[in-house]
């Protein structure tokens, strides 16, 4: 995640050096990561616009979720029974901090209401699982594979995706605006901590 942030920052700094005379930055505070099956998180975006019609934005958000967590309990050996691990599932809360880098095309950029389209890349780091014991659990129904592996943790993996979206900006003052947008991942599989469709809304300040 740190490497992704560093790379995005370098890209934005490179853009600012190419268009130093027209530098314009925008900071946004958002209710972000809103989806149909989870509550909103919070996000902060920093955008650089070489010209009013285009900008590149780095957004970092934070969202808390509740998901099943597998625990492994060890049952000590007795005189006639060897020791063994038994799995159990409970719900635990964790936090993810997605990172988005997007290129945005603004239409009617000098008007009060300005729609926009955007495309970019998203990275989400999954919660870390402990490097504990892995057990083999028998499969009850007939199966070519009589057992499957089970280990402690959430069982989630990091995700990197391309994405596209659309939104609208409503200017309040020359430097302040409201914004709302919807973004869709360009992939077919979803995850609880990374839904395919997300919504965001907030306030932007230009300087």
Asked if pLDDT for residue 118 goes beyond 90, the answer is: yes
For 83-104, give one letter per residue: b (16+ CB within 10 A) or e.
eebeeeeeeeebebbbbbbbeb
Task: Give the whole-number percent of the chain exceeding pLDDT 90.
Answer: 48
Helix (H) or strand (E) holding 31: strand 25-34
- Who's near 21: CB < 8 A, 6+ residues apart? none
CB distance 2 to 9 below 8 Å: no
For the chain, the straight-line distance linking the first and the last C-alpha, in angstroms and rounded, comes to 28
More confident residue, 128 or 162: 162
Report the residue count for the chain.
207
Least confident of 21-30, 57-66, 109-118: 21-30
- Who's near 122: CB < 8 A, 6+ residues apart? 98, 99, 100, 159, 160, 161, 162, 163, 185, 194
Burial (Cβ within 10 Å: 0-12, 13-18, ≥19) of residue 125: middle
- Taking the mean position of all CA atoms in its chain, how far away is CA 103? 17
Q: What is the pLDDT of residue 99?
A: 96
The region that residue 204 occupies, defined by phi over 0 for left and psi between -120 and 50 for alpha, beta otherwise, is: beta
> What confidence tier does 173 reach under pLDDT thresholds 50, 70, 90?
very high
More confident residue, 94 or 77: 94
Segment 123-135 mean pLDDT? 78
Q: Name the nearest CA neighbour of 91 among 62, 65, 109.
A: 65
Segment 9-30 mean pLDDT? 62
Least confident of 20-29, 86-95, 164-173: 20-29
Q: What is the pLDDT of residue 135?
A: 57
- Who's near 93: CB < 8 A, 6+ residues apart? 64, 65, 66
Segment 65-93 mean pLDDT? 77
CB distance 153 to 129 below 8 Å: yes
Q: What is the pLDDT of residue 75?
A: 72
Asked if pLDDT for residue 205 goes beyond 70, the answer is: yes
Q: Name the nearest CA neighbour of 104 among 34, 5, 12.
A: 12
More confident residue, 191 or 1: 191
Q: What is the pLDDT of residue 179?
A: 97
Query: Rounded to whole angstroms, how far apart are CA atoms 104 and 119?
Result: 7
Q: pTM for this structure?
A: 0.75
């Amino acid at each position: 995640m740190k490497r992704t942030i560093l790379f995005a920052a370098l890209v934005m700094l490179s853009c600012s050096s190419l268009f130093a005379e027209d530098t314009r930055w925008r900071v946004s505070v958002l209710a972000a990561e809103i989806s149909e099956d989870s509550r909103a998180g919070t996000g902060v975006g920093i955008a650089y616009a070489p010209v009013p019609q285009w900008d590149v934005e780095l957004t970092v958000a934070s969202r808390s979720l509740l998901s099943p967590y597998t625990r492994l309990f060890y049952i000590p050996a007795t005189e006639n029974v060897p020791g063994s691990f038994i799995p159990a599932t409970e719900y635990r809360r964790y936090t993810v901090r997605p990172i988005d880098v997007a290129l945005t095309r603004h239409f009617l950029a000098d008007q009060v209401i300005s729609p926009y389209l955007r495309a970019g890349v998203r990275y989400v780091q999954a919660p870390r699982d402990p490097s504990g014991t892995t057990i083999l659990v028998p499969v009850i129904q007939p199966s070519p594979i009589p057992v499957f592996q089970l280990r402690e943790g959430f069982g989630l993996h990091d995700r990197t995706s391309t994405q596209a979206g659309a939104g609208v900006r409503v200017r309040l003052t020359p430097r302040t605006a409201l914004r709302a947008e919807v973004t869709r991942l360009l992939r077919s599989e979803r995850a609880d901590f990374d839904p395919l469709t997300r919504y965001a809304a907030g306030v932007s300040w230009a300087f």
